[in-house]
Amino acid sequence: MRLPHYMKNYDDCWKQRILPRAVQKLNILPLYSQYILSLLLFIVKNINMSKSNSVVHSINTRHYSDLHLLSVHLSKFQKRVYHSGIKVFNCMPARIKSFSSDMRKFKPALKRFLLEGSFYTSQE
């Protein structure tokens, strides 16, 4: 990433905000964003394995349309792809989740969202 932007070895890419802008310009997802993309594509492809909150209870809450997250106590289960994928899916904006029934619309919308946000850590 340094050569195309004429950077020296000692230049701090993050302080100058050059690398994040270059990553967005080249449409390259950071590693954590690639993980989110893969995770959510797995969840959407296997959405029939999970229930929505509307099926579990009939109370109309703000999380009514989210996927139901099983309450588990073992961290071994909480770190699995399925459980963490549902947590990430439920955090997505409603406009992204609305495309979950059509993979051809969901994937580009999700990738565009991830490119705009450029998530580098799990806290973001």
Report the candidate in 48, 43, 26, 23 with the shortest Cα–Cα distance to residue 107: 43
Residue, of 22 and 1, whose pLDDT is higher: 22
The more confident residue out of 71 and 87 is 87
Measured between its terminal Cα atoms, the distance across the chain in Å is 23
Q: What is the pTM of this model?
A: 0.70
What are the beta bridge partners of residue 67?
A: 52
Mean pLDDT score, 40-51 = 86
Do residues 24 and 115 touch, judged by C-beta distance below 8 A? yes
Residue 87 structure tokens: 């947590």
Type and span of the H or E element at 108? helix 103-117
Q: What is the pLDDT of residues 72-95, one digit of tens each?
A: 767 766 667 788 888 888 888 889
What stretch of H or E contains 52? none
